[in-house]
Amino acid sequence: MMLPEHEIVISEEQIRRRIPQLAKLIAADIGDSNPLIVVILKGAFIFASDLVRHFDFPYEIDFISTSSYGNATKSSGIVKILKDLDEPIKNRTLLFIEDIVDTGLTLHYLTEILKIRRPKRIEIATFLSKPSRRKFHPEVKYVGFEIDDRFVVGYGLDYQQQYRGLPYVIAIDEIATKK
Ligand code: IMP
């Protein structure tokens, strides 16, 4: 797919400056708990890999994958786990890493379902947030950037699986189907 005409919403420079700030806040908060970093695939992989390279404390990483937009689960409001965690989480501090919190459904569901396994604590870090779209309200403590209700791609975020590798974030409302 060709790169569309685009407006840069978050630049490389903004990202470069923000990541170490977030890492520092996270370190001060949960750095002494050997947290399990739970990366929500696929979109969060770039944010997570940049973030953890600024972590100066012990941690472990695991990956979880949920059903995403573009199938029936969106309208039904049910999120399905496609790939579960490999590690047990009982009594552990979890840090979820997400690419974008939109309606909040994914993280609301994931945190509720994983609470059954009795982790000690759950925190959430997201690269982007669209507060105006929220329908569910998971507690998101770490937010890279708040954005307006635009459809964005890059830095892990996709449109039809494309554009994840862009080093900045662009808005492509004009080609993406409005949700
Ligand atoms: P939520 O469950 O409504 O909060 O949606 C979260 C998921 O929707 C994200 O992990 C993304 O996969 C997808 N999403 C929401 N907004 C965008 C966007 O602007 N670009 C790309 N993906 C998006």
CATH number for position 115: 3.40.50.2020
Task: Tell me if 2 is assigned to some domain.
Answer: no
Of these residues, 102, 149, 158, 173, which one is catalytic?
102
CA–CA separation, 121 and 56 (whole Å): 20
Q: Return the closest-CA partner of residue 55 out of 89, 20, 17.
A: 20
What's residue 73's pLDDT? Answer: 45
Q: Which atom of ligand 1 lies at the shortest distance from residue 135's CA?
A: 3
What's residue 69's pLDDT? Answer: 53
Cα 157 to ligand 1 centre (Å): 8
Q: Which atom of ligand 1 lies at the shortest distance from residue 133's CA?
A: 3
Taking all residues of the chain, what is their mean pLDDT, rounded to a whole number? Answer: 92
Task: Tell me if 55 is assigned to some domain.
Answer: yes
What is the rounded (10 degree) CA torsion for 18, 47, 49, 117?
A: 120
With vertex at residue 135, the alpha carbon angle to CA 22 and CA 149, rounded to the nearest 5 degrees, is 65
For the segment 120-178, what is each residue's pLDDT rounded down to a tens digit? 999 999 999 999 999 999 999 999 999 999 999 999 999 999 999 999 999 998 877 65
Task: Tell me if 73 is assigned to some domain.
Answer: yes
Count of the separate structural domains present in the chain: 1
Six-digit token string for 92 = 């552990």
pLDDT of 87 above 90? no
Range of the domain at 130: 7-178
